[in-house]
């Protein structure tokens, strides 16, 4: 005796509104969604409009902040190396005095700040002019810690062009008067991925700027930047 074959459930396709009123409401909902998605990016452009500079015309500032961007076998990734090269160049040109390197050291086998420090010393920045933040787990955490832990009130921020607006907007929200220097980078797959990622990250950045959450790890104040500035004279 043959058993009847089980019937496959029919998947119903979503029906579009048939009436003009329904179609109009659907279009309005789609347009509203697009506007809401673009609001955070628009906010970043407005906030950072006069805060972006080139390495040639950035105002002389005591402190530069370099954000981590990953390690390759313990060495700075190409994107991070570009950021560090820009910081070393600003130091050699006497446009900055101290470099605050901020990155992830959540595991014993992964230490962005120490790798960044080593790279900078190889490129002419004295070890005593480099300060490490080992709990810069994201851009907001780095900005808040620069202000609350290291006492930075004014800084030049160094990152790739696709990230620099978000960095400046968040550090401004955290109370750090900031200028951003966007470094050049090849338009490879990583660059395009970073650009797309920023669209999503802009939403989180706007929420961070509004609600101002504490960073993942705050900790006690550290005198590293003040000490390095005293050494600079």
Residues β-bridged to residue 53: 181
> 110-148 pLDDT, tens per residue?
999 999 999 999 999 999 999 999 999 999 999 999 999
> What pLDDT does residue 31 have?
57
Give CA–CA dist 52/184, Å, rounded.
Answer: 14
Structure tokens at 43: 């906010």
The domains found in the chain, sorted by start residue, are 52-226 (3.40.50.620)
The yes-or-no verdict on residue 35 having pLDDT over 50 is no
State the average pLDDT over residues 49-74: 95
Coarse DSSP helix, strand, coil percentages of the chain, rounded to the nearest 5 percent: 50, 15, 35
Task: Please state, rounded to an integer, the average pLDDT across all residues of the chain.
Answer: 88
**Which of 66-75, 155-164, 196-205 is predicted least confidently?**
196-205
The yes-or-no verdict on residue 2 having pLDDT over 60 is no
Residues β-bridged to residue 111: none
> What pLDDT does residue 159 have?
96
> What pLDDT does residue 43 have?
82
Beta-carbon contacts of residue 72 (< 8 Å; ≥ 6 apart)? 78
State the average pLDDT over residues 47-74: 95
Reported as a pLDDT band with limits 50, 70 and 90, residue 47 is confident
Q: Is the pTM of this model over 0.85?
A: no
Reported as a pLDDT band with limits 50, 70 and 90, residue 3 is low
- Which position has the higher pLDDT, 160 or 194? 160
State the average pLDDT over residues 188-217: 84
What burial class does residue 113 get, using C-beta atoms within 10 Å of its C-beta: 0-12 exposed, 13-18 middle, 19+ buried?
buried
> 11-30 pLDDT, tens per residue?
566 666 667 776 666 555 65
8 A C-beta contact, residue 228 and residue 98:
yes
């Amino acid at each position: 005796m043959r058993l009847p074959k089980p019937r496959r459930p029919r998947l119903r396709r979503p029906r579009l509104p048939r009436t003009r009123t329904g179609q109009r409401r659907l279009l309005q909902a789609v347009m509203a969604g697009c506007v809401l998605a673009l609001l955070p990016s628009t906010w970043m452009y407005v906030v950072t409009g006069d805060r972006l500079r080139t390495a040639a015309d950035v105002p002389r500032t005591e402190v530069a902040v370099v954000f981590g961007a990953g390690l390759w076998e313990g060495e700075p990734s190409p994107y991070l190396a570009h950021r560090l090269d820009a910081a070393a160049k600003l130091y050699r040109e006497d446009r900055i005095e101290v470099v605050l390197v901020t990155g992830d050291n959540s595991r014993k086998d992964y230490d962005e700040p120490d790798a960044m420090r080593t790279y900078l010393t190889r490129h002419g920045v004295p070890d005593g002019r480099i300060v490490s933040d080992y709990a810069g787990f994201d851009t907001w955490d780095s900005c808040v810690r620069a202000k609350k832990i290291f006492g930075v009130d004014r800084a030049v921020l160094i990152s790739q062009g696709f990230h620099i607006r978000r960095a400046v907007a968040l550090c401004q929200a955290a109370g750090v008067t900031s200028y951003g220097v966007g470094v050049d980078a090849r338009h490879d797959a990583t660059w395009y991925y970073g650009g797309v990622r920023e669209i999503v990250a802009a939403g989180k950045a706007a929420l961070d700027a509004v609600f101002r959450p504490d960073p993942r790890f705050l900790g006690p104040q550290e005198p590293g930047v003040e000490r390095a500035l005293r050494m600079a004279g």
